[in-house]
């Protein structure tokens, strides 16, 4: 295993030791120990920048399941490195923030940091895996670990609800994505992403291509909260603020963005990819910003703003698909959309991470996130206000912050579609810049709401649980660093141009970048009085007017019917599924074991009988059977008589004696067949069984009239005869269809020579099949422990009842 693999697995390894650190060093906050890991990982990944800067790559691989073509190939290029730096860098800041946000006296910190480390490792696995099956394994692990993080405060009903919703939707998408991965492997005969990219031309002509495309996008859209799957993200805000800052600004929700970016070289040649990714993305951008304005919870505003910003990035990746329809980079203006997507990916992580931390500070210091109760906090929390202004203004796309630059590039990408003679954009293409502009207006409005509804206006101390004051320095460090990056990348954007943005964009459009060739990435604030600038001026002017008149038109949201929403559809569907499954289960689960056995045996007869019949496996060959002697006939008669006695006996004592007689008679068969050790084993088992039955006899309930006069049931007779017939036919057919020579001669020849034992059965059990015996003993031990536990529980319950009496 390489150092790169170790870096991916290190969060999982660290998670093993967190509980011991939490219990052994209670005087120190567990976060201080965890903090070292993301810092080390961030430093380690920084070392790859000189390689990826020139579009170089690093690959390390080891076999996982080579027979199925599944290898754990860790692959670092510009795109993977960008995400790895976001995961570890933002992760380090979130851990630092959580040290001051989560109290070591009140919170189960070991659970929190174990879940956080699991998520960090899973995300690194997703973005650094070249094998699609490996990627999928980590992908689903992100769903599980995010479920645990969202439900961290599991005693709250809304936390459990939000965690379950996120799990159901993202796992549904993950399973759909798995179907797409399997289709891709069928089409390309490989699970390697790079090998599939090299076959993109042939894959686009395959009849399974469209199905794979749709299934892959279902996985991406559910994870990145695209319309209509966005409904899980607002409910996930019930998680602690450090979780929201990490999952919903830089990591989990960006996994779908990563998947679309990574697989764009395969699918982007298709018009379906362009329209689905681009249209869903731009509508999500508009819909998220439109719904953010009506929110009264600060986290709710940021939740819908995250939906909107993710839609923005997704639409840019869809529009960037047009770039692949040109052979060279010369005059390829559509590559700007890809560059804008990468740039805004970075910007969103910085300003949204800082804003989530600001919300946590406000909630921590005032006891509420409701903007109707907040106001006038500027004089109490000036540092927090400054961070909020930087983050919110960047989110609104105002200069000189980094969000302004990427938003201008976003407008450029949307405007260019109008002139694109591709995918029939001459008709519907105009909707892209229109929705982009309207969505940006609502983005401006909710950004102003976030700042001014919280920090300006009238101070309302009577509505607050605490007297507000500035947060501790430790809680301010992380958001200050992120706010500083917002300003730095806004003033000096080209710091990132060829170190991070160019390599990541080149990985999205590899067919356009030849050996030694780099994309032209030059970002500047001023491009003259172009349409993008006028769109920005319009956003500011209209947005300011609408914000100042917010109270006059906000009531329009009340006109939307509350029962006709995607959330209502989700709740109704979930309730219907629960009631339907309950009704169906209740119909066949009646509480009687005999009924369940009828189901099992009927299925057994049908499946095995049908298989044997259709496969023509029924064969009866008596040529190699030994002659049947008088002793065997006598023993069969005795066994048959014993079985009928068990069935028709009126006394349970008689049934137990008859059952013992059947078992002892079977042991005589082993004696006749010269297997004394098996005969002895059978005698011991029957003796113990009969003894146990007799010991339990006192505790058995008395026979009632129904059992004493049990009537004849044709169905039970058919099931019984069917099972007996199928088993008998299987045994006879198996004996008659010997496909290989008997292995008995091997044991005869090697028992003494290889194992120095004369008892063949013992040698087989202990030496030749020792692991089987070991596992059987383990199963029996586990079963024994389970029975012992049940007995102890029963005794404990009786003891409690006796104490109460």
> Is 543 within 8 Å of 438 (Cβ atoms)?
no
**What mean pLDDT comes out for the span 644-671?**
86
- Joined together, the tokens standing for residue 634 give 């006598």
The better pLDDT of the pair 601, 794 is held by 601
Q: Exposed/middle/buried for 505, CB within 10 Å: 0-12, 13-18, 19+?
A: buried
Question: In this predicted structure, what is the pLDDT of residue 331?
Answer: 45
**What mean pLDDT comes out for the span 120-146?**
96
CB atoms within 10 A of CB 725: 12
- pLDDT of 326 over the 70 cut: no
- pLDDT of 560 over the 50 cut: yes
**What mean pLDDT comes out for the span 233-251?**
90
SS3 call for 101: helix
Strand partners, 61: 73
Distance CA 14, CA 40 (A): 12
- pLDDT of 799 over the 60 cut: no
Lowest average pLDDT, out of 351-355, 360-364, 546-550, 757-761, goes to: 757-761
pTM of the full structure: 0.82
Question: In this predicted structure, what is the pLDDT of residue 803?
Answer: 57
- CA separation, residue 579 to residues 76, 165, 606 (Å): 48, 18, 30
SS3 call for 71: strand
- pLDDT of 182 over the 90 cut: yes
Lowest average pLDDT, out of 217-226, 357-366, 583-592, 600-609, goes to: 583-592
691-694 contact pairs (CB < 8 A, 24+): 693/656, 693/659, 694/656
Of 278, 347, 284, residue with least CA distance to 318? 278
pLDDT tens for 384-425 read 999 999 999 999 999 999 999 999 999 998 988 877 766 667
The better pLDDT of the pair 324, 105 is held by 105
- pLDDT of 622 over the 80 cut: no
Question: In this predicted structure, what is the pLDDT of residue 450?
Answer: 96
**What mean pLDDT comes out for the span 449-462?**
93
b/e sequence 638-665, b meaning 16+ C-beta within 10 Å: ebeebeebbeeeeeeeebbbbbbbbbbb
**What mean pLDDT comes out for the span 440-448?**
97
Please, which residues have CB within 8 angstroms of residue 778's CB and are 6 or more apart in sequence? none
Question: In this predicted structure, what is the pLDDT of residue 232?
Answer: 95
Share of the chain above pLDDT 70, in %: 95
- pLDDT of 366 over the 80 cut: yes
Question: In this predicted structure, what is the pLDDT of residue 616?
Answer: 79
Helix (H) or strand (E) holding 391: helix 382-396
**What mean pLDDT comes out for the span 20-30?**
86
The better pLDDT of the pair 62, 293 is held by 293
* Per-chain mean pLDDT for the chain: 89
């Amino acid at each position: 295993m390489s150092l790169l693999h170790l870096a991916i697995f290190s969060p999982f390894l660290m998670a093993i030791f967190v509980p011991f650190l939490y219990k052994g060093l209670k005087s120190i906050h567990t976060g201080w120990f965890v903090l070292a890991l993301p810092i080390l990982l961030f430093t380690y990944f920084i070392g790859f920048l000189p390689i990826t800067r020139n579009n170089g790559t690093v690959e390390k691989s080891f076999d996982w399941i080579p027979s199925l073509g599944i290898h754990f190939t860790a692959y670092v290029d510009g795109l993977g490195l960008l995400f790895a730096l976001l995961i570890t860098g933002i992760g380090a800041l979130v851990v630092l923030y959580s040290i001051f946000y989560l109290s070591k006296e009140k919170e189960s910190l070991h659970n929190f940091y174990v879940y956080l480390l699991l998520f960090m490792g899973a995300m690194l696995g997703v973005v650094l895996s070249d094998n699609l099956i490996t990627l999928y394994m980590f992908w689903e692990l992100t769903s599980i670990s995010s479920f645990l993080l969202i439900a961290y405060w599991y005693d709250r009903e809304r936390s459990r609800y939000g965690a379950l919703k996120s799990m159901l939707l993202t796992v549904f998408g993950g399973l759909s994505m798995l179907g797409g991965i399997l289709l891709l492997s069928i089409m390309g005969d490989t699970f390697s992403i790079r090998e599939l990219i090299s076959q993109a031309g042939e894959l686009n002509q395959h009849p399974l291509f469209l199905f794979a495309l749709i299934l892959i996008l279902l996985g991406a859209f559910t994870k990145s909260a695209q319309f209509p799957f966005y409904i899980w993200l607002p409910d996930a805000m019930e998680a602690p603020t450090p979780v929201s800052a990490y999952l919903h600004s830089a990591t989990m929700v960006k996994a779908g963005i990563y998947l679309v970016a990574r697989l764009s070289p395969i699918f982007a040649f298709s018009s379906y990819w362009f329209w689905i990714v681009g249209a869903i993305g731009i509508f999500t951008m508009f819909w998220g910003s439109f719904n953010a304005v009506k929110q009264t919870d600060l986290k709710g505003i940021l939740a819908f703003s995250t939906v909107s910003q993710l839609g923005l990035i997704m639409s840019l990746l869809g529009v960037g698909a047009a770039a692949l329809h040109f052979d060279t980079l010369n005059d390829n203006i559509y590559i700007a959309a890809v560059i804008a997507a990468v740039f805004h990916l970075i910007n969103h992580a910085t300003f949204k991470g800082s804003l989530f931390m600001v919300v946590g500070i406000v909630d921590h210091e005032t006891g509420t996130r409701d903007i109707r109760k907040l106001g006038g906090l500027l004089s109490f929390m000036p540092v927090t206000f400054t961070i909020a202004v930087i983050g919110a203004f960047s989110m609104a796309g105002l200069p000189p912050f980094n969000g302004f630059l990427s938003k201008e590039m976003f407008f450029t990408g949307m405007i260019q579609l109008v002139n694109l003679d591709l995918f029939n954009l001459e008709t519907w293409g105009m909707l892209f810049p229109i929705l982009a502009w309207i969505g940006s207006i609502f983005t401006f409005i909710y950004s102003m709401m976030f700042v001014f509804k919280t920090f300006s206006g009238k101070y309302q101390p009577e509505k607050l649980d605490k007297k507000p004051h500035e947060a501790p320095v430790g809680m301010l460090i992380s958001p200050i660093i992120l706010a500083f990056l917002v300003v730095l990348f806004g003033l000096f954007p080209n710091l990132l141009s060829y170190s991070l943005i160019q390599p990541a964009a080149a990985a999205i459009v590899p067919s356009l970048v030849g050996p030694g060739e780099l994309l032209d990435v030059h970002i500047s604030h001023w491009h003259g009085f172009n349409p993008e600038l006028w769109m920005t001026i319009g956003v500011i002017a209209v947005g300011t007017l609408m914000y100042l008149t917010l109270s006059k038109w906000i009531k329009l949201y009340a006109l939307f019917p509350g029962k006709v929403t995607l959330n209502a559809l989700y709740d109704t569907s979930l309730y219907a599924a629960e009631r339907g499954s309950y009704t169906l289960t209740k119909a066949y689960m009646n509480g009687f074991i005999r009924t369940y056995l009828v189901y099992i045996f009927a299925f057994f007869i049908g499946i095995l009988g049908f298989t044997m019949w259709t496969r023509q496996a029924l064969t009866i060959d008596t040529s190699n059977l030994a002659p049947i002697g008088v002793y065997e006939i006598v023993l069969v008669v005795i066994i048959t008589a014993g079985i009928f006695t068990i069935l028709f006996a009126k006394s349970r004592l008689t049934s137990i004696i008859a059952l013992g007689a059947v078992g002892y008679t079977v042991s005589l068969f082993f004696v006749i067949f010269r297997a004394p050790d098996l005969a002895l084993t059978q005698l011991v088992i029957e003796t113990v069984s009969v003894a146990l039955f007799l010991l339990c006899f006192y505790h058995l309930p008395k026979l009632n009239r129904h059992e004493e006069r049990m009537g004849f049931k044709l169905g039970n007779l058919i099931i019984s005869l069917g099972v007996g017939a199928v088993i008998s036919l299987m045994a006879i057919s198996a004996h008659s269809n010997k496909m290989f020579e008997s292995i008995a001669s091997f044991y005869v020849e090697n028992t003494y020579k290889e194992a120095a034992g004369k008892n063949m059965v013992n040698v087989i059990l202990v030496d030749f099949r020792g692991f089987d015996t070991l596992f059987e003993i383990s199963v029996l031990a586990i079963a024994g422990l389970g029975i012992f536990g049940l007995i102890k529980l029963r005794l404990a319950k009786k003891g409690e009842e006796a104490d109460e009496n």
